Structure 1
């Protein structure tokens, strides 16, 4: 007879699959509703660049949240991790739907720099992912965890796992906010601006929550690079 833990895991995975399918279908329907009137955005547009780069950013958050969800013994953080995982998976799937209808790849080309769509003719300054600022593209988006950090997260247990997950996810959210706010201000399509605004609102709220979770555990956020 399956354990309650196994049953819960199965239910959560089934819920995530449903979220993915609904998000992708919703994104395709929304964008198809406008393609009869508007030409698809170009590859170097804010709309396409945001969708591709934010998908990369979101999918790493989904990975980290899945690690926490599967391994924490804290029911509050398990629920929080599932919320992050399902929200960002749905948003990523919606952006995938747009990109499919627009006829663009789901992710940036391998080796292509990130955040080039935020350059605004070289006048907009944004984080370079390495502790400084730039007006151009970057090789690493702000807030992204390194391979070593992800490997460490997979090996931790107990309180150490919970604290490191919160630290990584908090930094990750802070890094994604800059891209989302730029898209909310500059994307050409209303539905793209709308999702970007939702990302800003949800990640700001979750950022405050994670800071409180860290304080309750006697830990501090990681420095933001």
Structure 2
């Protein structure tokens, strides 16, 4: 089964956090985000990096954990970006808009790094392998209704979020993002445990730490709205 990172046209701008001078508005062309991420991320991982002796490590193979994690997490990140753009247009809450802004910027930057690494390694951005096959899990996740990996929202859930406004949209977005982050943390930890590329492992550990922290924040935002996580 092939799966591809999805770049959508949900929105091309995002409002930044409110400041004393009012909200900042940033244009968000995908090409610019990728270019910035390439500039930041690729030099550190050229040809897989160097070991302590200074010799150049080998380029990851097409179906390696390094390539699989980069592809799958890029796909996972793209949906978090999509979810955040959806809620951005359906709420006036500063807290929710700020959270969405942070998720869009952080995950778009990380996604650009991972796509850049694949390009630098001369590998394709998608493969015929099943999602997360590189993790060698005991159980297989069954993709369904557009949800390719654990934590990813289904097409039905995305449609529901698009149908909501105000606090209802806020609560549902927060609930979906907790599940999304749980899936992302599990995948990133999987690469930390299995991976061999030190730079990619550091990025994965950053994801684990950052998304766990955001789960706590999101849970607090839900409680303020009299709601709880879905699970």
Could you state the TM-score of these two structures normalised by the residue count of structure 1? Answer: 0.82
Other structure's SS at 2:150 match = coil
Pairwise mapping of residues 116-155 of structure 1 onto structure 2 (< 5 A)? 116-119=133-136, 124-125=137-138, 128=141, 140-155=148-163
Pairwise mapping of residues 1-225 of structure 1 onto structure 2 (< 5 A)? 8=15, 11-14=25-28, 18-32=32-46, 34=49, 37-109=56-128, 112-119=129-136, 124-125=137-138, 128=141, 140-223=148-231
Q: Deviations over 1:131-187 (max 9, x none)?
A: xxxxxxxx8311010001111111210111000000111100001111100111221
Structure 1 residues 7 and 157 mapped into 2: Cα distance closer, same or farther (>3 Å)? closer
How far apart are the structure 2 equivalents of 1:207 and 1:129? Answer: 24
Q: Deviations over 1:24-75 (max 9, x none)?
A: 2222222227288122101221111100000110000010011112321101
How far apart are the structure 2 equivalents of 1:216 and 1:129? Answer: 34
How far apart are the structure 2 equivalents of 1:7 and 1:52? Answer: 25
How far apart are the structure 1 equivalents of 2:127 and 2:75? Answer: 8
1:11 CA displacement:
2.6
When structure 1 is superposed on structure 2, of 36-45 and 89-98 the one drifting more is 36-45
More helix by share: 1
Q: Decide whether the 8 Å contact of 1:129 with 1:143 is kept in 2.
A: no
Structure 1 residues 173 and 129 mapped into 2: Cα distance closer, same or farther (>3 Å)? farther
Structure 1 residues 98 and 7 mapped into 2: Cα distance closer, same or farther (>3 Å)? closer
Give structure 1 stretches of 5+ with no counterpart: 1-5, 131-138
Give structure 2 stretches of 5+ with no counterpart: 1-12, 17-23
Could you state the TM-score of these two structures normalised by the residue count of structure 2? Answer: 0.80
